């Protein structure tokens, strides 16, 4: 069997309006909200880099210039930090810009995840690629995308990241009907977008990571918009499934959905407690909170 090329490119759809976080996102992209001291999107970009993927394609829209600026070189800031001897901070801001190639394509208007993937066709060409949804921040070792690439290289087909969710939450996700190959790895039988609880074929929910092959593009071009006017990636994958096997991988790691306020807050706490310089005093602060007597501030 001829083996596919390895994954060199990752698509980040970032054209959404971030309305769930208004008014904070009125003048700044949702993807730039910080988890401790790093914007949400940087966690995904660092995951891609740690997985061996160093070409990042950002699908942007109006008002997203801050994302481009964040990953660009800032000579004035670098000169300032260098003059002040702040070498650790200097290395931190240079790290991503120096190691990754960034490309940008405008989506025009947010017409769904399928459309966001479709507009990258000219930059992807005829090679396999990853799609990373920045809202899903996954703490995993090896990185989530690296786990998926390993399955892709083994099974020679598209791989979708999944997570088992409580039954009552299945209607919020794309859900798989799948047959197990081995623990954590499945061959997909069908994909259902946000089914009713009683109609869900399983509790295997699609989360924000995909390893795709370029034959997804003709399927997306042929996919009709749904009732909201969006082209859904799930529908394109269902069409592709009629022509080739698709696979699913349960990621070994901790996932946070930062696309909603509660998930975002949980992620902030989680990553703060993962920081050696913050964990002790922050845990002490959390234990000092008394909800009945408001806050016992120290």
Which CATH number goes with the domain that contains 113? 3.90.550.10
Q: Is residue 129 part of a domain?
A: yes
Q: Quick one: tokens of 68?
A: 């481009």
4 and 128 in contact (C-beta within 8 Å)? yes
Q: What domain range includes position 93? A: 9-259
Over range 56-74, report the average pLDDT: 83
Q: Which residues contact 7 (CB under 8 A, 6 or more apart)?
A: 51, 52, 53, 128, 129, 130, 145, 149, 152, 211
pLDDT at 16: 80
DSSP string, 160-212: EEEEE--GGGGGGSEEEEEEEEETTEEEEEEEEES--GGG-S-SEEEEEEEEE
Over range 135-156, report the average pLDDT: 96
269: burial class by Cβ within 10 Å (0-12, 13-18, 19+)?
A: middle
Q: Is residue 271 part of a domain?
A: no
The number of angstroms, rounded, from the C-alpha of 168 to the middle of its chain's C-alpha atoms is 23
Q: Quick one: tokens of 181?
A: 């190959």
Over range 276-293, report the average pLDDT: 87
Ramachandran assignment for 36, one of left (phi > 0), alpha (psi -120 to 50 degrees), beta (any other): left
Q: Is residue 97 part of a domain?
A: yes
Q: Is residue 279 part of a domain?
A: no
* Spatial separation of the C-alpha atoms in residues 172 and 151, rounded to whole Å: 26
Q: Is residue 76 part of a domain?
A: yes
Domain count, the chain: 1
Give the global pTM: 0.90
Q: Is the pLDDT of residue 97 over 90?
A: no
Q: Is residue 57 part of a domain?
A: yes
Residues 111-133: tens digit of each pLDDT: 889 999 999 999 999 999 999 99
Confidence grade of residue 3 (pLDDT, cut at 50, 70, 90):
very low
In this structure, of 17-31, 138-152, 182-196, the range with the lowest mean pLDDT score is: 17-31
* Spatial separation of the C-alpha atoms in residues 134 and 239, rounded to whole Å: 25
């Amino acid at each position: 069997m001829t083996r596919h090329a390895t994954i060199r490119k990752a698509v980040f759809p970032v054209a959404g309006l971030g309305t769930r976080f208004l008014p904070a996102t009125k003048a700044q992209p949702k993807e730039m909200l910080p988890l401790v001291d790093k914007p949400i999107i940087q966690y995904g970009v660092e995951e891609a880099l740690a997985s061996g993927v160093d070409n990042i394609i950002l699908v942007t829209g109006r008002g997203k210039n801050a994302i481009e600026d964040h990953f660009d070189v800032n000579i004035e800031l670098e000169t300032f930090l260098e003059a002040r001897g702040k070498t650790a901070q200097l290395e931190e801001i240079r790290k991503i810009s120096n190691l990754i190639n960034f490309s940008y394509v405008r989506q025009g208007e947010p017409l769904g995840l399928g459309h966001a993937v479709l507009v990258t066709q000219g930059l992807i060409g005829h090679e396999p690629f990853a799609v990373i949804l920045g809202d899903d921040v996954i703490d995993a070792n090896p990185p989530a995308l690296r786990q998926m690439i390993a399955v892709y290289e083994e099974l020679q087909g598209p791989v979708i990241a999944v997570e088992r969710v409580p039954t009552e939450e299945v209607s919020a996700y794309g859900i798989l009907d799948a047959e197990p190959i081995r623990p954590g790895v499945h061959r997909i039988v069908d994909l259902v977008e946000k089914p009713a609880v009683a109609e869900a074929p399983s509790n295997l929910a699609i989360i924000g990571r995909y390893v795709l092959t370029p034959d997804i593009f003709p399927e997306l071009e042929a996919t009709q918009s749904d009732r909201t006017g969006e082209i859904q990636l799930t529908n394109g994958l269902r069409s592709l499934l009629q022509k080739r096997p698709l696979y699913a991988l349960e990621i070994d790691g901790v996932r946070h959905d930062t696309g909603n306020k509660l998930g975002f807050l949980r992620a902030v706490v989680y990553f703060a407690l993962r920081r050696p310089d913050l964990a002790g005093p922050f845990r002490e602060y959390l234990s000092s909170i008394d909800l009945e007597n408001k806050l016992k501030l120290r």
